[in-house]
Amino acid sequence: MAIPVPLPWAALTAAEKRSRALAVADELFAREGTAVSMPVLAEAIGAGVGSIYRQVGTKDELIAALVIARAQVLRERFHAALDADDAWAALTRATHATVDDCIADALSQTAWDEAAFASEAVRAARAGATDALAALVERARDAGALRDDATHEDLRLVFCALRELAGIGPESAHRLAELVLRGMRG
């Protein structure tokens, strides 16, 4: 079976160029960190630096787009969990799925925060995810599954810490989440 060769940059539509740039940047950041230079990023994408700037923008704008996409996934996950019959089970599943995302995320919490500082669109996307998590926690509290003083911030602390401490590995990351969930339990 032949390995497909990616189309040359010039043959791609604008949407395909943006998609490729985001996917390649995500992979490159996972391997080498977000400090990678624009020329290295452009070479990995298969385009010139100027083309990347025209299509996606600066590296900061590229990181912002990745953060927005991740925040949208979180928002959708937390909203979907609101429809589950068992509020506690839904909160637990959504928490552990988010832990998996955090430990696999090439973007540190610092990158998330810097992107939010610089971009209203990132702040809005993150706020949407936070609001959805707050609604999920509130639903679990209303169902009697959580202590009165438990809040969505308890889980956000776990998620933020894990983006910085991804090297602790999945077992330890899930253990931390489980400890916090137990502490929140009513």
The tens digit of pLDDT for each residue in 107-164 reads 888 888 888 888 999 999 999 999 999 999 999 999 999 999 999 999 999 999 998 8
Say whether both 94 and 128 belong to one domain. Answer: yes
Residue 29, domain extent: 9-57
CB neighbour class for 16 (10 Å; exposed up to 12, middle 13-18, buried from 19) = middle
Residue showing tokens 């509130």: 138
Say whether both 42 and 117 belong to one domain. Answer: no
Q: What is the pLDDT of residue 5?
A: 59
Which token pair is 166?
């991804």
Which token pair is 75?
């928002």
Q: What is the pLDDT of residue 183?
A: 95
Q: What is the pLDDT of residue 7?
A: 81
Q: How far is CA 186 from CA 7, 143, 145, 152, in A?
A: 55, 10, 5, 14
- Provide the Cα torsion 174, 175, 181, 186; round to 10°: 150
Structure confidence at residue 184 as a pLDDT band (50, 70, 90): very high
Say whether both 121 and 148 belong to one domain. Answer: yes
For the chain, what is the mean pLDDT?
A: 91
Which token pair is 65?
């787009």
Say whether both 33 and 113 belong to one domain. Answer: no
Q: What is the pLDDT of residue 171?
A: 95
Residue showing tokens 């995320």: 105
Tell me, yes or no, whether 2 lies in a domain.
no
Q: Residue 26: which of 58, 65, 54 has the closest Cα?
A: 65
CA 125 vs. chain centroid, Å, equals 11
Q: What is the pLDDT of residue 106?
A: 80
Tell me, yes or no, whether 106 lies in a domain.
yes
Q: What is the pLDDT of residue 129?
A: 96
Say whether both 47 and 139 belong to one domain. Answer: no
Tell me, yes or no, whether 4 lies in a domain.
no
Average pLDDT over residues 93-104: 94
Structure confidence at residue 4 as a pLDDT band (50, 70, 90): low
